[in-house]
């Protein structure tokens, strides 16, 4: 079971890293608010993240990807 969860965490972490390094642009970081979202907590969090500098958001995304990959490797080993 650890190998299964480890593999899933590892793949998820690699996907997060790929998106964070290759696909994320400044336009993605500054998306416009729709205002009709039922989950207002996520909308509020998105607005808060948009006020942060772009390099800080990118480094946080990369950190999360490395953390998921590390946890996956830890579970596999």
Nearest 10 degrees: Cα torsion 27, 33, 36, 39: 80
What is the total count of domains within the chain?
Answer: 1
Identify which of 76, 63, 72 has the alpha carbon closest to the alpha carbon of residue 11: 72
Output the average pLDDT for the chain.
81
For 41-70, the pLDDT digits (tens) are: 777 777 787 788 878 888 888 899 999 999
Domain containing 64 equals 2-76
Could you give the CA distance from residue 36 to residue 71 in angstroms, rounded to a whole number?
36
Its pTM stands at: 0.69
Could you give the CA distance from residue 16 to residue 1 in angstroms, rounded to a whole number?
23
């Amino acid at each position: 079971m650890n190998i299964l969860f480890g593999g899933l965490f590892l793949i998820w972490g690699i996907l997060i890293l790929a998106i964070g390094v290759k696909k994320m642009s400044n336009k993605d970081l500054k998306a416009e608010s729709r205002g009709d979202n039922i989950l207002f907590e996520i909308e509020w969090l998105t607005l808060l993240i948009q006020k942060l500098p772009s390099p800080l958001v990118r480094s946080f995304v990369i950190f999360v990807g490395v953390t998921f990959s590390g946890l996956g490797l830890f579970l596999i080993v």
